[in-house]
Amino acid sequence: MNMHSLILRTAGHFLLPLLLLFSLFLLFRGHNEPGGGFIAGLVAGAAFVLYLFSMDIAAARKVLWIDPRSLMGGGMTLAVLSGVPGIFRGQAFFTAQWWELAVPGLGKMKLSTVLLFDIGVYLVVIGAVLTIMLTLAEAED
């Protein structure tokens, strides 16, 4: 799989953290500007795939640090759990809950179950993309 390209390898090293940061940016701005969990997840997935192409599978797995299948499971769990708080307030499952947090020096910050749900989507998308890609890449050996 290794492309043996110096340029690609060097670029991969630098692009991975940048793309991951970009995906987080997309994730958090998603509620008001174009972005969101699905898109962010695809960007992060693509970032890891780029890394996979520029290095090799072992390196990609190492930098990923966690098995992509666990990412899917964790994401699904988070997404389902984000629907639960509504029930405790006597509302329907998945009714969005919002809290406002005052962060010293930064002003007010909005937290919500919606954000948790979006993070769940984000994780599932990364997990699914990487599970498929890594499995296919490993099958070649």
Partner 1 sequence: MLYAILSTFVLAAFSPWVHRLAGRYSGWVLALLPAALFVYFASFLPAINAGETVVIVTPWMPGLDIQLSFLVDGLSLLFALLISGIGFFIISYAGRYLEGDRDLGRFYVVMLSFMGSMLGLVLADNLIAMFVFWELTSVTSYLLIGYRNEDPKARKAALQGLIVTVGGGLALLAGIVMLAIAGGSYELSEILNSGDAVREHALYLPMLILILLGAFTKSAQVPFHFWLPNAMAAPTPVSAYLHSATMVKAGIYLLARLNPSLGGTEVWFTVLALFGAVTMFLGVFLSFRSTGIKSVLAYSTIMALGTLTMLIGIGTETALLAAMTFLLAHSLYKGALFLIAGILDHEAGVKDFLQTGGLRGALPITSALAMLSALSLAGVVPMLGFVAKEAMLESVLEAPGLVPVLTLLAMASAILGVAVAAIVGIRPWFGPRVETPKRPHEAPPALIAGPMVMAGLGLVFGLGPGLADGGILAAAARAVNGGVPVETYLSLWHGLNWPLAISALALVTGLLLYSRWDRARERLAWVDIAARFGPERGYDRLMDGIVRISEWQTRLLQSGYLRYYIMFIVLATAVMVGVTAQIFDVSAGPLRLQDLRFYELAILAVMGASALFAVLSQSRLGAVAALGAFGFTVALTYVMFSAADVGITQILVETLTVILLVLVLFRLPGFLGLSPRLIKLRDAAVAMAGGGMVMLLLLSTHNAREFPSIAWYFIEEAVPAGQGRNVVNVILVDFRALDTLGEIFVLALAAVGVYAMIRFRAEDRK
Q: Which residues bind partner 1 (CB under 8 A)?
A: 30-39, 42-43, 45-46, 49, 53, 68-69, 72-73, 75-76, 79-80, 83, 93-94, 96, 98, 110, 112, 114, 117-118, 120-121, 124-125, 127-129, 131-133, 135-137, 139-140
Residues in the chain: 141
Smallest gap from Cβ 132 to partner 1, in A, equals: 5
Phi, psi of 53 (to 5 degrees): -70, -40
Which CB, 57 or 63, lies closer to partner 1? 57
Of 104, 141, 125, 134, residue with least CA distance to 35: 125
Smallest gap from Cβ 65 to partner 1, in A, equals: 19
Smallest gap from Cβ 117 to partner 1, in A, equals: 5
d(C-alpha 11, C-alpha 135), whole Å: 24
Phi, psi of 105 (to 5 degrees): 90, -25
Smallest gap from Cβ 84 to partner 1, in A, equals: 12
Place of tokens 């993309």: 129
Partners of 101 in beta bridges: 109
Smallest gap from Cβ 6 to partner 1, in A, equals: 21
* Cα dihedral value 124, 70, 119, 76, nearest 10: 60
Which CB, 105 or 141, lies closer to partner 1? 141
Which CB, 84 or 105, lies closer to partner 1? 84
d(C-alpha 126, C-alpha 30), whole Å: 16
Which CB, 106 or 140, lies closer to partner 1? 140
